[in-house]
Amino acid sequence: MIYIYDILLNWCDINNVYDFYEWDLNDNLEHIKKINLIKVDNNTIDDFINHEIKVNQNLLEAINSKCEVYTQDNLVFLKYAAIFTDCNRVIAIEFDKNGISIFKSKMLIDEETEIIDISCRINEIKIDYKIMKKISKEDFLTRLELKIKNCLIKEFKDIYTKKNYQKLKYFYHEYSNDNFEEDINIIYKKLINSLDKLNNNHYKIYNIIRMLYTKKKV
């Protein structure tokens, strides 16, 4: 195994691994001084990206405390972390002491390109691992889409629970342009179910909600 030096990682929950263009300054960003690079086959990288996995102790021993992280005062070591690639895709993974993947990170585009270039000149390593479960990705929504969906779910449920039926009907008409449906339970279910697939009307409702809350703060 070889090392990659001086990169930025954004450690995310394995269910929500963000592309670099969705990174936020409030994320768990770490400046990595040094980390192992491991080349694997296509099936392995598929499993490592799309599943929670458990690797064997041999891998943990090989990468034990090899990942060095810059802090304001000194260097700290991540116990079990490495970058994996198949010369096409790249994923960084942090494991717990049992070998279970707990955090993942994608790369900045220039750093990913450099890693892929390097990996094409090194040997592939076979890793023994077990698939624990498939990762839930919220139907592959972007970070913004997921934020909008969660906001609307919370708002619709809150309005329905508080029996603010006129407001719920208003949002329903904004969504569907249907002025005939009057059963509030059907309206509520239709609104919630509609969030399985976001469209421009959902964005319109989301912006209305944002403006309403902004006015309350003024």
164 touches 149 (CB < 8 A)? no
Residues of the chain with pLDDT below 50 are 218
Q: Record the tokens describing residue 203, joined without a space.
A: 């964005």
pLDDT digits (tens, 9 = 90+) for 101-141: 999 999 999 999 999 999 999 999 999 999 998 887 655 67
